[in-house]
Amino acid sequence: MTDQRVRTDNPANGVARLTLTRADKANAQDKAMLYQLDDALTAAAQNDDVRCIVLAAEGEHFSSGHDLRDDSSLADFEPRSQWSGFDASGQEGQMAAEHEIYLGLCWRWRNLPKPVVVQVQGLCMAGGLMLVWPFDIVIASEDAVFSDPTVAFGVNGVEYFAHVWELGHRKARELLYTGADLSAEDARTLGMVNHVVPRDELDSFTLTMAERIAKRPMIGLRLAKLACNQSLDAQGYGTAIHGVMGWQQVGHAQARLVHGLPVDPAGAEIIRSDRKR
């Protein structure tokens, strides 16, 4: 039986809080966590008593990204998309799997018809960004650090490629090419983060905002979210997010041809050496 990776509580009227509970793994995302998070988000979305959702994480870090040691099979979970062939050979199986569990889930979450506020502390690295960017409002602690060093693995970046939209193309290029960290305050200046607060105020500040949101009528909140999403999509957001997934697959296919692995194994040492500086 899979351990609980996501806990749900209702800290205030109209608010559901979902908390990642793999603190001992820096909230690295295995398949079980992602599917449990999807279940929890769906339950909150379908609960008429909930008007605002908060996503939080236990421990020192919000999320260190994908759990590269996860050896579970997608066959152990109920698919949420219409993709299949996850165990197919070559790049076919990985393409299907990444459309299901990464791009597919993130796109579902982005279109969830209720506001979601994310609170981030510590490290939010690579796949951790995919638990932030699909949502609506981001509150970061002063010690929060954001990064996507995955170009070192021979791919273009994480699977939900919102970098250019979140950071502007110049900063996105710099962070992708160098794997550099982005501080919470710099992320706020760029518009990726709404507010930066002391770590010991993160919970209370986020809950206060969620309570204020939850006072509004659900229809108004839904229409506002639909309008914001539609405005982004009219600028090409959805087309870009889905189209760029093709470059992700080119990177994986190249690594399979050259290294016999889905990523360049030298990337791990590059990232480690960068973080020692």
The per-residue DSSP string of 173-220 comes to: HHHHHH---EEHHHHHHHTS-SEEE-GGGHHHHHHHHHHHHHTS-HHH
Q: Which homologous superfamily is 6-276 in?
A: 2-enoyl-CoA Hydratase; Chain A, domain 1 (3.90.226.10)
Considering the entire predicted model, what is its pTM? 0.95
pLDDT tier, 277 (very low <50, low <70, confident <90, very high otherwise): low
Residue type, 128: G
pLDDT tens, residue by residue, 235-274: 999 999 999 999 999 999 999 999 999 999 999 999 999 9
pLDDT tens, residue by residue, 39-87: 999 999 999 999 999 999 999 999 999 998 888 989 889 999 989 989 9
> Is residue 205 pLDDT above 90, yes or no?
yes
Q: Give the strand order in the sheet containing 52-57.
A: 6-12, 15-20, 52-57, 116-120, 137-141, 195-197
Tell whether the torsion through CA atoms of 151, 154, 156 and 161 is positive or negative.
negative
Kindly give the interhelix angle for 90-98 and 237-259, rounded to the nearest 10 degrees.
150
| Contact between residue 59 and residue 26 where contact means Cβ atoms under 8 Å apart | yes
pLDDT tens, residue by residue, 132-160: 999 999 999 999 999 999 999 999 999 99
